[in-house]
A and B are shown apart, each in its own frame.
Chain A
Amino acid sequence: MLKLWKIFSKGLVTENPLLILMIGLCSAVAVTSGVANAIGMGAAMTFVIVFAELVISLFRKLIPNDARIPIFIIVIAAFTTMVDLAMKAYWPDLSESLGVFIPLIVVNCIIMGRVEAFASKENPLHAAVDALGMGLGYTWVLIGIAAVREILGAGAFLGIKIMPKGFQPILFFTLPPGGFMVFALFISMNLGIKRGMDARAKARLETSKEAS
Chain B
Amino acid sequence: MNLASIFISALLIDNIVLMRFLALCPFIGMSVDVNKSVGMGLAVIFVTVIATMVTWPIYTFILVGLDLKFLQILVFILVIASLVQLVEFFLKKNVPGLYASMGIYLPLITTNCAILAVTFDVISRGYNLIESVVYAVGVASGFLLSLVLLAGIRERIKTAPIPKFLQGTPILFVSTSLLAVAFMGFAGLIK
Contact = CB atoms under 8 A, between A and B. Distances in A.
Contact of B21 (A29, A74, A103, A184): A29
A30 interface: yes
B81 to A, nearest CB: 6
Contacts of A184: 166, 169-174, 177
Contacts of B120: 100, 103-104
Given A81-B73, A177-B177, A180-B174, A191 B168 contact: yes
A23 B112 CA distance: 11
Interface string B97-123: 000000000000011110011001100
B160 to A, nearest CB: 15
B90 to A, nearest CB: 19
Given A26-B22, A100-B121, A187 B173 contact: yes
A80 B71 CA distance: 11
Interface string A74-112: 100110110011000000000000001001101111001
A191 B113 CA distance: 26
A191 B134 CA distance: 42
Interface residues of A, number: 40
A27 B22 CA distance: 8
A159 interface: no
Interface in B128-181: 165-166, 168-174, 176-178, 180-181
A178 B25 contact: no
A187 B171 CA distance: 10
Given A26-B22, A183-B173, A175 B74 contact: no
B170 A26 contact: no
A26 B25 contact: yes
Contacts, number: 112
B23 A26 contact: yes
A103 B116 contact: yes
Interface string A170-194: 0000011111110111011001100
A107 B112 contact: yes
Contacts of B22: 26, 30, 104
A22 B169 contact: yes
A40 interface: no
Contacts of A84: 73
B4 interface: no
A70 interface: yes
Contacts of A177: 177-178, 180-181, 184
Contacts of B177: 177-181, 184
B87 interface: no
A176 B178 CA distance: 10
A156 interface: no
B6 interface: no
Contact of A74 (B23, B78, B181): B78
10 contacts: A70-B81, A73-B77, A77-B73, A80-B73, A84-B73, A100-B120, A177-B184, A180-B177, A184-B173, A188-B170
* A-B pairs with lowest CB-CB distance, top 10: A184-B173, A180-B177, A30-B21, A25-B24, A177-B180, A188-B170, A181-B177, A29-B21, A184-B170, A77-B74
Given A22-B28, A106-B116, A187-B170, 4 more contacts: A74-B74, A100-B124, A184-B171, A191-B165
